[in-house]
Structure formats: C-alpha cells, structure tokens
Amino acid sequence: MDQSFIPKNRILLGPGPSNVNPRVLEALKRPTIGHLDPQFIELIDDIKRLLQYTFQTDSDATITLSGPGSLGMEASLVNIIEPKDKVLIGVGGYFAGRMKQIVEKIGGIPIVVEQEWGRAIDPQKIEDALKNNSDIKITAVVHAETSTGALTDIKTISEIAHKYGSLLIADVVTSLGACEILTKEWNLDVVYSCSQKGLSAMPGLSPISFSDAALEKIKNRTTPIKSWFNDLNLLMAYWSGEKRAYHHTAPANSFYGLHEALLILKEEGLDNSWRRHKENSVLLVKRLASIGLEPLTPERERIPNLLTIKVPEGIQEEVLRKKLLNEYSIEIGAGLGTLAGKVWRIGLMGYNSNEKMIELLISSLKDALSNKIV
C-alpha cells in the first residue's frame, strides 16, 4: 500500500486502451510547464496542425479536449443541439445508445433508426427517416461501433444528411488513425475521437473538429450552450488568436504524449497506417479461422482495428478471457449489451497492429482453448 504502484505488463488487444508507443511514454516524462508558457502555446498550435492532418481538415476549430472520448461525444452534442431539436441517431450498438442518452439529457429529441447489432447502419434507413421528418437538422452516427465491430459508411450517410439539410456528427473514437476518414472532403460537421485507441497514446484526451457549417449553427443558437467546460466559444479563446486566455489547466504531459503520437502517425503517413490496419485485419481473420474462430460482422462492414469474434459453442466466454489475462497477460474485450457472453472483441490498434502481435495472440488462444478448461 505505501509503495509506488508498478503494474504488471499487459498486452492490450481489447477495444482500448491499446499499448502506448514507447516514444509516447518517453514524451510523458518531460518536465511539466505552464499552460500559458509561450513554449506550450507553440505546442498546442502544433497539435492543432497535426490534428488537422489526422482528421484531414483545415478547420481552425480543431482542438483536443482534456478528457476521454466520452467528453468529445458530449461536447459535439451539447454545442450543436438546442432544447427541442430533433436529432436523428443510427443505433446499432452500445456507443450510439450513449449518444441518445446525452441527447435526452440536454433536452434534444432523439429520433432513432435501429440496426441489428453487428451490422453497419443502413444509409437507406437514414434517408427514409430524413425524408419523413423534414424538421431534423442534426444526424449523428458512430463510424466504428466498438461494441459490435461494425464500420458504418459515414461518407454516404454524410451525403444523404446534407441532401436533406442536416448536419452530420460522426463518432470516430476508435477509427481515427486506423481507418480512412476525410473530414473535409466527406463534409463531416463534427468529428471527435480519443487518444488511446487508434492513436496508441495514453488515455485521457479527446481530439475534436468542427466544420464551418457546425460553427455557423453554434453562432446562430438562440439558447446558451448547456455546459461551461465544453462550450466551444470559451475553449477557442485558448486554442486560437493572437492572445490566449486561460480556460482550464491543460494536462501538459498528456499533451506531450498526444503530440508525439500524432507525429508518429504523420511519419508513417495516414495512407500507410490505414493500409497496415486493413492488411493486419485480413491476416488476423485468416489466422483465427485456422483455430476455428469466426467474425461476427460481414467482411465489408468490419472495423480494421477491432474485430468481434463469436464465442464457440461449449466455451465459457469469461473463463477463457480471464485465462488469457492471468496466464498470458493478454487482454481482450468482452461483449457489451446484447452481445455480452456471445463475443470477444480483439483490437489491433496503432502500435499493436502488426504480425508479431497476431501470432502471439493466435498461439495463446490456441493453447488456452485446447486446455479444455472451458
């Protein structure tokens, strides 16, 4: 108890966090400086530029929030939605359900399009809902639904949303860095993410970006933003302009870590990172098949950095997962909600998306499964 906490090493192959790149861990121990130190302002300007590259946007309203991905989710919704606004949400998993809860809490009216868990949101269903509700001005979907492993086509859904005069909010918490996302070209109005999944940094930060149309919507609000910490206007006084004003004390060391993670991604190149995640996902599926395990989601709807696999008949989901953790020090994820007990979730994100990790996982899984403990 009265000694330093030193965790055992784990191989993190679940839905996040993923193992942190050693370069990021190195960056975290550099000396803390003040959030208004001119050096620090240079750092946040640099983070903005790197995030613009990562999101593929030139929007100045591209910043990072000091909190996990859920803070980005709340920020995107609370800035855009006013009480009584109808918000169309495609719900095919746990995280889209969380969006609905937030919309309700801030006084919006969620209009839900349901999708079977494990499948991508059907763009046609979004189109039908927008056609039947001409007063919907905001649509929200999760790009990579981490609870099910399904990747939704946000490019097509964005086209549809804008055709009907709606903005599009897209959760890219898991997908950023690992899957193709072209924020500007695809006209995504708000995108938000986290630091600990596709970006392979420590948990605790939430990159977010707003389009011009989203900023216009915020400017034209007739009611105040129902949050102080997440009010974009207040945040931008720190993130933009000649003179910067204190908003909250930025977690300096975490910012060093995020900066390093973004730099690593830029050095590799987004295209290369997207390709690597895709190729390793294909290899993982092939290797899993060799030990009799198969994915839940159809091939064209799979998240490249998060695969959901079915628990075979006669195997106890939790027993095997705990065995992997305790005896092999490998963490994989359990199913959530309606998929609890039925699937495992395997993440190969950022630093962990490589052949060595796949082989290690397969040999451990094979070993654990063959012991018939389960």
Ligand X SMILES: *Cc1c(COP(=O)(O)O)cnc(C)c1O
C-alpha torsion 244→248→254→256, nearest 10: 10
Which one of residues 66, 70, 133, 338 is an interface residue with ligand X (CB under 6 A)?
70
Touching ligand X, residues 177-206 (CB under 6 A): 194
Select the residue interacting with ligand X from 65, 121, 150, 173 (CB under 6 A).
173
The verdict on 73 binding ligand X (CB under 6 A) reads yes
**Residue number of the CB atom closest to ligand X:** 69
Determine if 117 is a binding residue for ligand X (CB under 6 A). Answer: no
Cβ-based nearer residue to ligand X, 69 or 108:
69
For residue 136, the minimal CB distance to ligand X (Å) is 22
Which of 146, 152, 308, 364: binder of ligand X (CB under 6 A)? 146
Q: Could you say whether residue 68 binds ligand X (CB under 6 A)? A: yes
Smallest gap, in angstroms, from Cβ of residue 351 to ligand X?
Answer: 17
Q: Which range touches ligand X (CB under 6 A), out of 69-77, 218-226, 248-256, 338-346?
A: 69-77
Position 350 contacts ligand X (CB under 6 A): no
Question: Does position 95 bind ligand X by CB under 6 A?
Answer: yes
- Piece of 56-64, 126-134, 159-167, 171-179 that binds ligand X (CB under 6 A): 171-179
Question: Which stretch in 63-71, 123-131, 176-184, 330-338 sits in contact with ligand X by CB under 6 A?
Answer: 63-71
Q: Which CB sits closer to ligand X, 62 or 206? A: 206
Nearest distance in Å: CB 227, ligand X: 16
Comparison of 40 and 204: residue with beta carbon closer to ligand X: 204
Residues in the site for ligand X, rule: CB under 6 A? 16, 68-70, 73, 95, 142, 146, 171, 173-174, 194
